[in-house]
Chains A and B, each alone.
Chain A
Amino acid sequence: MDRDNVGRGERGAFGLVLAWIAVGAPLLWGVSQTVVKSLALMGR
């Protein structure tokens, strides 16, 4: 079992935050696009 295959960076908070930004940013962009479009269409 190879347990020593992870660098120090993978345990740090920086990598954790970066990983969440990488998935959170596109998701928030997509949701905001849907909300804006929905509101615009319903208010028309």
Chain B
Amino acid sequence: MTLAGLLDRERTIAPPGYNRWRVPPAALAIHLSIGQAYAFSVFSIPLSRTVGVTSSAPDDWTLSTIGWVFSIAIVFLGLSAAFFGSWLERVGPRKAMFASAVCFGGGFCVASVGIALHQFWLLLLGYGVIGGIGLGIGYISPVSTLLKWFPDRPGMATGLAIMGFGGGAMIASPLSVRLMEHFRTPTSTGVAATFGALGIIYMIYMMLGVWTVRVPGGDWSPPSRTRSATAGQVAAPKQHSVGVVAAVRTPQFWLLWVMLCVNVTAGIGVLGQASAMIQEMFPGRISVGAAAGFVGLLSLANMGGRFAWSSLSDYIGRRVTYALFFSLGAGLYAVIPSVGRLGSVPLFVLGYVIILSMYGGGFATIPAYLRDMFGTMQVGAIHGRLLTAWSTAGVLGPVLVNYIREYRIAGGVPKAEAYGVTMYVMAGLLVVGFVANLLVRPLPASVGEDLSTSGQG
């Protein structure tokens, strides 16, 4: 049996009686690893001192140059998810997860060589391009598989995996710091060796997921179908199995694209500015340390919201969940400037915790919404195409927040009040999302093919 044979879809079909709760750990092994991307900033300072070691030397890379590495990785995440989605559905999750592990781990190793040789293009190629492709394939592979294993609780299942992506940064950040301390010498920051070590660690850890993932057989059905977990959904998942090409031609796909884009834009815009924002809105009351603690709290809310909101959507329906995200979110964004003026730090923190939980929830609930709408046949490929909304929001969010803030400060507005307009713009974006969600209608029977009885697994 060759390696390629071991990775074949046919080899991953679960036998009768297989416990489906073994699949989420396989998914988490992938998402906990690739979630490292959110912790890339921990390398920013060490990477800017690879020549000077204790301080930046003239030949060292600048922080803005290093920032490109993360941006390129996110761009390639979106592109590879969109491009390889159909391939994933064809070859199955094991081969796709294997490719993801090799790209993500291998990308770290190539980047490590680039850092050691001080060749920026190698760092960009390794972490940004190769690693970014690993991110994209790894993000969609387990999600698609879980949706097929948990047709009765799709929100909970995808929330679990996508929570792992949020939690991955919490593992990567302290792990990377400890590795850099371990490898640091008087003549090296230790960051090159840390990249190499992380590449090997992540590749091995992701392989746990690769070798344990299974797909359900064609005649498999969940243990109990007595509870209706799809209350309020807008389309019957058993009646539609729509291919990716047909799906992207529907207005429903683009309405969901807009919803994901505005939800992520609003969340990502404030996430990147959270530390500066709380300090400037409460001058003299919030220290740099307390602001960093606030950012940590937001990360926890982001992670917890992925599982909590997505699981809740199984009970209240995807449409109601997103209606809550957009209405509650718009309201909170609109009142936060007033809370800042009132000087209430606890209310400010509470508001942001809820906002960030919904930001995470938006990411985690969208695959289940896609599954409700288009079925599970090619949901991985459709999810991959939809993630281009994430790439768009990744540029739009920070640009909106930074540009509006700088424009206001240049116009003579005090820093503490410079965020007000930004918050109102974000609230407006969420209203757009609310309307898009309202416009989502069940697919007409003419879209796609009815393959609900053909056992697509």
Contact = CB atoms under 8 A, between A and B. Distances in A.
Interface in B296-326: 296-297, 299-300, 303
Contacts of A30: 167-175
Contacts, number: 99
A27 B290 contact: no
B275 to A, nearest CB: 11
Interface stretch (B8-16, B98-106, B412-420): B8-16
Interface size class of B (residues with CB under 8 A): 35 or more
Given A27-B171, A31-B300, A6 B212 contact: no
Instruction: Name A's interface SS.
Output: helix
Interface residues of A, number: 29
B15 A26 contact: no
A17 to B, nearest CB: 10
Interface string B271-296: 00000000000000001011011101
Given A5-B11, A23-B164, A27-B28, A38 B296 contact: yes
Interface in B11-56: 11, 13-19, 21-22, 25-26, 28-29, 32
Given A3-B16, A30-B172, A37-B292, 18 more contacts: A2-B13, A5-B13, A6-B14, A11-B17, A11-B18, A16-B22, A19-B22, A19-B212, A22-B25, A22-B208, A23-B29, A29-B171, A33-B174, A34-B299, A35-B300, A38-B296, A41-B289, A42-B293
Interface of B: 10-11, 13-19, 21-22, 25-26, 28-29, 32, 164, 167-175, 208, 212, 214, 217-218, 287, 289-290, 292-294, 296-297, 299-300, 303
